[in-house]
């Protein structure tokens, strides 16, 4: 029995044809556009990264020095807007991750397990004895793994 | 000797079409998110390639902002997928139908 990739022709045929047709149309347009063969590039520029920084923070005095790239727009307002948008996205993801149990909001990062989880951890603690707990807390990962590799019995994960 | 601009544009178009195909065919919400990222990165390739073509840094700076916007979008998208899984025990985007027209 093979598990290799198969061509699904039932439901994804029409979107596939659509995507390929769109690519062919756009490629035809691009290949018929008269781009100049030479890229202008950034010849004689000291540091592109520094120039990006100057443009991002409106440092026009530094932009006009020797070896700089002229005509770069100032992006300080866009930078601040993106900062606000990232902050809003962080808040939104926290709001979305917050769950409610019987009308009570539970914090997104709460570590209080449910009843079944507690029972499971208690059972594994009994099965693995207190040796695993000591190695989990004190040693590095490699030594713990070596211990477990040597140990034929113990907990099964 | 540099690569001509047409090849960059063709690469970005191929990425865009792969992302579009993924959005049209996939039902897993995580695959949706990955397809949107492909389309955003196609736009980034265009911005950076044309910045180099014109010898102007505006496109490169704008690509940085696009990446930040993609990060914000992924944060919200993963939160939505989390809620989707919590409510429906599934990340199939065709299961929740109550907010459809």
Name the strand (E) or helix (H) holding A136.
Answer: helix A115-138
Q: In the prediction, which pLDDT does A55 show?
A: 86
Cβ of residue A54 closer than 8 Å to a chain B Cβ = no
The residues facing A100 across adjacent strands are A105
Q: What is the model's pLDDT at position B53?
A: 92
State whether B14 and A22 contact (CB < 8 Å). Answer: no
Distances from the Cα of A105 to the Cα of A95, A135, B77, angstroms: 10, 36, 21
What is the residue-averaged pLDDT of chain A? 72
Q: Does B75 touch chain A (CB under 8 A)?
A: yes
CATH for B5-88 (3.40.50.720, 2.40.110.10, 1.10.287.3510, 3.30.300.30): 1.10.287.3510
Distance CA(A138)–CA(A78), nearest Å, equals: 48
Question: CA A45, A48, A54: angle at the middle one, nearest 5?
Answer: 105
Q: State the pLDDT at residue A129.
A: 42
d(CA B82, CA B45): 30
What residues contact B18, with CB distance under 8 A and at least 6 apart? A19, B35, B38
Whole-angstrom Cα distance, residue A89 to residue B78? 11
Domain extents for chain A? 48-97
A-chain CB neighbours of B2 within 8 Å are 38-39, 41
Helix and strand totals (H; E) in chain B: 3, 0
The whole-number pLDDT of residue A1 equals 66
Cα distance from B101 to chain A (closest Cα, Å)?
22
Digit-coded pLDDT (tens) for A80-114: 999 999 999 999 998 888 877 777 777 666 666 55
Interface membership of A13 toward B (CB under 8 Å): no
The per-residue pLDDT for A111 is 65
Query: Chain B within 8 Å of A72 (Cβ-Cβ)?
Result: yes
Cα(A140)–Cα(A124) distance, rounded to whole angstroms? 21
Q: Chain B interface, mutation test: which of A9, A23, A33, most B Cβ atoms within 10 Å?
A: A23
pLDDT of residue A114: 55
Q: How far is A132 from chain B (nearest CA, A)?
A: 32
Q: Which parts of chain B sit beneath pLDDT 50?
A: none
The yes/no answer to whether this complex scores an ipTM above 0.90 is no
- pLDDT tens-digit map of A18-54: 999 999 999 999 999 988 888 888 887 888 888 888 8
What is the DSSP code (8-state) at residue A72? P
């Amino acid at each position: 029995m093979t598990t290799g990739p198969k061509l699904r022709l039932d439901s994804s045929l029409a979107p596939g044809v659509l995507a390929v047709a769109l690519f062919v149309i756009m490629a035809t347009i691009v290949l018929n556009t008269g781009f100049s063969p030479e890229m202008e590039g950034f010849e004689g520029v000291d540091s592109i990264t520094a120039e990006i920084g100057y443009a991002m923070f409106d440092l026009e005095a530094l932009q006009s020095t020797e070896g700089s790239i002229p005509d770069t727009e100032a992006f300080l307002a866009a930078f601040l807007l993106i900062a606000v948008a990232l902050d809003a996205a962080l808040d939104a993801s926290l709001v979305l991750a917050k769950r409610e149990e019987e009308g009570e909001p539970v914090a997104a990062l709460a570590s209080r397990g449910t009843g079944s989880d507690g029972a499971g951890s208690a059972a594994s603690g009994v099965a693995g004895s207190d040796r695993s707990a000591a190695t989990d807390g004190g040693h590095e990962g490699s030594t713990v793994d070596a211990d477990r590799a040597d140990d034929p019995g113990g907990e099964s994960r | 000797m540099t690569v001509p601009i047409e090849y960059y544009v063709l690469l970005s178009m191929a990425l865009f079409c792969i992302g579009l195909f993924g959005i049209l065919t996939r039902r897993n919400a995580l695959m949706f998110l990955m397809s949107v990222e492909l389309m955003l990165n196609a736009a980034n390739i265009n911005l950076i390639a044309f910045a180099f073509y014109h010898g102007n840094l505006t496109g490169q700076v704008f690509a940085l902002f696009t990446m930040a916007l993609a990060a914000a979008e992924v944060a919200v998208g993963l939160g939505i997928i989390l809620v989707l899984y919590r409510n429906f025990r599934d990340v199939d985007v065709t299961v929740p139908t109550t907010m459809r027209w």
